Amino acid sequence: MDIEGRQSKSRFTNFQCISYNESYCRFEKCKLSLLGRGRVGASFYLKMFVLPADNAWINWSIYRRYNGWRPFLYNISTDFCHLMKNSNKLSFEGLVINAIMTKSNLNHTCPYNHDIIMDNLEYSDDFLRNLPLPQGDYKIELRFATDKVWRVQVTVFILKAE
């Protein structure tokens, strides 16, 4: 909320989940839900068939819409297990992971011996407050790999309003 007590006009506008190999893992749920007036929550349930999930990497990309989606600011890959042990709270990765951890069961280090669940994560202007994002349409793509093979992609579309 801002100082006048109004909710942010920024919000999730779409949410997509892709499994590259459904014999490794499959999305049982991937959806946006209306939680209340002006509040949208993103949820997914990733059923894991090969456990434990270890040696994990994540690729982070931000795109902004200008006559199609164009790369914007970030496209980096990080050792996910190392990030979960040593999250820098002010980095782009730290901001996103800390937001996800508030509503998911990803709140521990590797290995992951269970399905991955995120339940009704709401967009907040605090998530990306330290990034210079002007108003507009953005998409954040998160791709996850284990054992050097890309397994899933989660894409979140955000409308950032002033």
Token pair belonging to 45:
């349930």
Q: What pLDDT does residue 125 have?
A: 66
Q: What pLDDT does residue 139 have?
A: 93
Rounded to an integer, the average pLDDT of 82-98 is 76
Rounded to an integer, the average pLDDT of 112-140 is 83
CATH class as words, domain 11-160: mainly beta
pTM attached to this predicted model: 0.86
Q: Is the dihedral of CA 100, 153, 105, 40 positive or negative?
A: positive
- The domain segmentation of the chain, as residue ranges, is 11-160
Q: How confident is the model at residue 126 (pLDDT cuts 50, 70, 90)?
A: low
Q: Tens digit of pLDDT for each residue in 19-42?
A: 999 999 999 999 999 988 778 899
What are the DSSP E strand ranges found in 37-93? Answer: 39-48, 56-65, 69-79
